[in-house]
Amino acid sequence: MKMWIDGQWVDSVSGGVMPVTNPATQEVLDTVPAGTPEDAARAVAAARAAYPAWRRVSAVERAHMLHAAAAKMRDRFDDLARLLTLEEGKPLPENEEEIDWSLNTIDYYAELGRHVRGRVPPSPGEGQLSLVLKEPYGVAGCIVPWNYPILLLVWKIAPALAAGNTVVINPASLTPLTTLRMVEWAFDHFPPGVVNVVTGSGSAVGDTLVRHPDVPVIAFTGSTAVGQHIARATAGQMKHLHLELGGKDPFVIADDAPLDAAVEALAYAALINTGQVCTSTERVYVPRAMLPQFSEALAERVARLRLGPGIEPTTDVGPMIGAADRAKVIEHIADAVSKGARVLTGGQIPDVEKGFFLEPAVLVGVDHTMRIMREETFGPTIPLMAYDTFDEAIALANDTEYGLGACLYSHDARKVRRFYEEVQAGTIWINDPLTDNYAGPFGGMKMSGIGRELGIEGLEAFWQTKHVHWDIEGGVKEWWYPY
Ligand code: NAP
Ligand code: MG
């Protein structure tokens, strides 16, 4: 495929291309231009040129265009979900969910963008008007990872466009195809330069967006390491940064939790997208008395999950995205075992010729000295640790540098309240892990990031604030000179 700059399908100025492969079969699906800093700068120039006119398009017209984009995605729903399955790997139903969430997010911001553009506070004096105006920034640079390439992108471009910004997108190197098709099929009616996609590595294209003086706002989802790099690289420019970074989400099972439902909830929370979710459950705390029965039921449940290519209807768990990612998970398991943990099921590479598959693992006997309980594993692992009191469970949940999400299973209102008051995480899920809400903000505390996506907060992320003070009569004031 080609990339989309200034309303044209173009190659890189370098002429280079890079392959996109299917992680289930390791077959090359297609190639995309290997964009360079020059290509990124070309797209920024187009977005900057398109901005003054786009900013003046009425909010209702922008809403119509966003609704039209959502409708066109609905028309190509199956094609988008299938292509996403081929390049990203997770099972088709998870990709259908991703496309569904994405187009609903576009509809949500289409309406939100025309709802308000500021507020009118009381003025300090008679005959005056105070206006708080929300204005777009200009060009928004949007950089996303491969695990939810469409959803995480739409969380950025839908509010950015609704707020009146133009956008330059750098998709992840591993998953640019569905993004290009989405723009081709659903965003072709936007004026040239309003939406641009520059494929190519983050270190070439993303980094150029990050440093470019004409890109005043960067919306990034990815690792904490790259987030820190972006913060350092932009410190001198006072850029507005929205950084959605890594996590090490805890799941606390309370002593009143119904065993069967908690086991099902946990398997889903930890293994959806093969555990490659920023808010994936990465560590679990179970009451000591419950642990033997709970771990046995969980291991039995996890062992029954069917591994396979995401495109097969019989698949529950797809491949991981790549060999290095899988090797890291195996290292985390080996480190835990070397320190005394026990693997109840999984953790092995299955006997298949192709694809980055790994059997989902359940571990017991883990503690916080192990990498699997401290570092982001980003794979199909469920380490279970025993706790004695609910105080201890909360302390363990908070014993991390991250603060993205946290889950609890309980019907005890006192425990629920303590959990959401005391656990430091941007999202708290009670009894329904990982369900997002367009109207509810999403993002991280601590090292998990800065800023929020979704909700009104997600729109405000793409607005800057201006205060207008207007004395309508304009007479001479008694507090002016002379004193
Ligand atoms: P990553 O390595 O940080 O990559 C994310 C994106 O940044 C990719 O598009 C990447 O390009 C690009 N990039 C790399 N270096 C860059 C640079 N110097 N300047 C600008 N952009 C650059 O993350 P990942 O390992 O692919 O993704 C998994 C991580 O994302 C995990 O830590 C996960 O927790 C996090 N995540 C967070 C959220 C959230 O909402 N908080 C959601 C999903 C994932 P290339 O593709 O070319 O490397
Ligand atoms: Mg990476």
User: pLDDT tens track of the chain, all 483 residues?
Assistant: 999 999 999 999 999 999 999 999 999 999 999 999 999 999 999 999 999 999 999 999 999 999 999 999 999 999 999 999 999 999 999 999 999 999 999 999 999 999 999 999 999 999 999 999 999 999 999 999 999 999 999 999 999 999 999 999 999 999 999 999 999 999 999 999 999 999 999 999 999 999 999 999 999 999 999 999 999 999 999 999 999 999 999 999 999 999 999 999 999 999 999 999 999 999 999 999 999 999 999 999 999 999 999 999 999 999 999 999 999 999 999 999 999 999 999 999 999 999 999 999 999 999 999 999 999 999 999 999 999 999 999 999 999 999 999 999 999 999 999 999 999 999 999 999 999 999 999 999 999 999 999 999 999 999 999 999 999 999 999 999 999
473 falls within a domain: no
Q: Are residues 240 and 255 in the same domain?
A: no
Given a contact cutoff of 8 angstroms between Cβ atoms, the answer to whether 199 and 3 are in contact is yes
Cβ–ligand 1 distance for 287 under 6 Å, the answer no
Q: Are residues 264 and 397 in the same domain?
A: yes
What sign has the CA pseudo-torsion 209, 211, 213, 219? positive
Burial of 446 (0-12, 13-18, 19+ CB in 10 A): middle
Q: Are residues 264 and 122 in the same domain?
A: no
SS3 content of the chain, % helix, strand, coil (to 5): 40, 20, 40
Cβ–ligand 1 distance for 283 under 6 Å, the answer no
How many domains, the chain? 2
The domain that contains 385 carries what CATH number? 3.40.309.10
Q: Are residues 92 and 216 in the same domain?
A: yes
Q: Are residues 23 and 140 in the same domain?
A: yes
Cβ–ligand 1 distance for 228 under 6 Å, the answer no
Which ligand is nearest to the Cα of residue 203, counting in written order?
A: 1
Q: Are residues 426 and 452 in the same domain?
A: no
Given a contact cutoff of 8 angstroms between Cβ atoms, the answer to whether 232 and 429 are in contact is no
Q: Is 352 left (phi over 0), alpha (psi -120 to 50) or beta?
A: beta
Q: Are residues 342 and 412 in the same domain?
A: yes
C-alpha span between 253 and 438 (Å, rounded): 27
Structural domain boundaries enclosing 329: 249-430
155 falls within a domain: yes
Cβ–ligand 1 distance for 98 under 6 Å, the answer no
480 falls within a domain: no
Beta strands in 305-404 (DSSP E): 342-345, 361-364, 381-387, 402-403
Q: Which atom from ligand 1 is nearest to the alpha carbon of 325?
A: 25
Q: Are residues 182 and 273 in the same domain?
A: no
443 falls within a domain: no
Taking CA atoms only, the protein residue closest to ligand 1 atom 22 is: 202
Count the neighbouring beta carbons within 10 Å of the beta carbon of residue 289: 11
Q: Are residues 92 and 162 in the same domain?
A: yes
Q: Which atom from ligand 1 is nearest to the alpha carbon of 148?
A: 43
Nearby residues of 356 by Cβ (< 8 Å), 6 or more positions away:
23, 89, 319, 320, 321, 322, 323, 325, 326
b/e map of 115-143 (b: 16 or more CB within 10 Å)? eeeeeeeeeeeeeeeeeeebbbbbbbbbb
256 falls within a domain: yes
Taking CA atoms only, the protein residue closest to ligand 1 atom 46 is: 172
DSSP 241-264: EEEE----EEEEEPTT--HHHHHH
The domain that contains 61 carries what CATH number? 3.40.605.10
Smallest Cα–Cα separation from 347: which of 372, 369, 368?
Answer: 372
442 falls within a domain: no
**Residue 399 is which amino acid?**
D
Distance of CA 359 to the CA centre of its chain: 25
479 falls within a domain: no
C-alpha span between 422 and 393 (Å, rounded): 11
C-alpha span between 56 and 62 (Å, rounded): 10
Separation of CA 353 and ligand 1 centre (Å): 29
What sign has the CA pseudo-torsion 139, 143, 149, 151? negative
DSSP 21-39: E-TTT--EEEEEE---HHH
Q: Are residues 404 and 322 in the same domain?
A: yes
C-alpha span between 445 and 428 (Å, rounded): 12
Q: Are residues 459 and 389 in the same domain?
A: no
Write the CA distances from 148 to 96, 102, 145, 175, 298, integer angstroms: 12, 10, 7, 9, 26
Q: Are residues 165 and 216 in the same domain?
A: yes
